[in-house]
Amino acid sequence: MDLTYTEEEEEFRARLREWLGKALPGLPPKPSPADWPGRRAYDLGWQRTLYDAGYAGLHWPVDAGGRGATPTQHLIYLEETERAGAPYVGASFVGLLHAGPTIASEGTAQQRARWLPPVLRGDEVWCQGFSEPDAGSDLASLRTRAWRDGDDYVVSGSKIWTSHAEVADWCELLVRTTPVSATTPKHKGITWLAMPMDAPGITVRPLRTLAGSTEFAEVFLDEVRVPVANRVGAENDGWRVTMVTLSYERGTAFVGEVVACRRVLGELAREARRNGRWDDPVLRRRLGRLSAEFAALWRLTQWNVSESQRTGGVPGIGGSVFKLRYSHARQELYETAGEVLGAAGLDLDHEWVLDRLSSLSYTIAAGTSQIQQNIVAERILGLPKGR
Separation between Cα atoms, residue 150 and residue 138, nearest integer Å: 31
Tell me which DSSP letter residue 86 carries.
P
Closest CA to 44 of 82, 115, 95, 116: 95
Separation between Cα atoms, residue 133 and residue 143, nearest integer Å: 10
Query: Which of these is catalytic: 79, 80, 249, 293?
Result: 249
Tell me if residue 249 is catalytic: yes
Closest CA to 260 of 10, 131, 85: 85
Separation between Cα atoms, residue 359 and residue 353, nearest integer Å: 10
165 φ/ψ angles, rounded to the nearest 5 degrees: -65, -35
Closest CA to 160 of 134, 178, 184, 185: 134
Neighbouring residues of 240: CB distance < 8 A, sequence distance ≥ 6: 233
Asked if 172 contacts 99 with a C-beta cutoff of 8 angstroms, the reply is: yes
* 3-state secondary structure (DSSP) of residue 356: helix
Closest CA to 294 of 246, 350, 334: 334
Separation between Cα atoms, residue 280 and residue 208, nearest integer Å: 37
Q: How many CB atoms lie within 10 A of CB 3?
A: 11
Annotated catalytic residues are 249
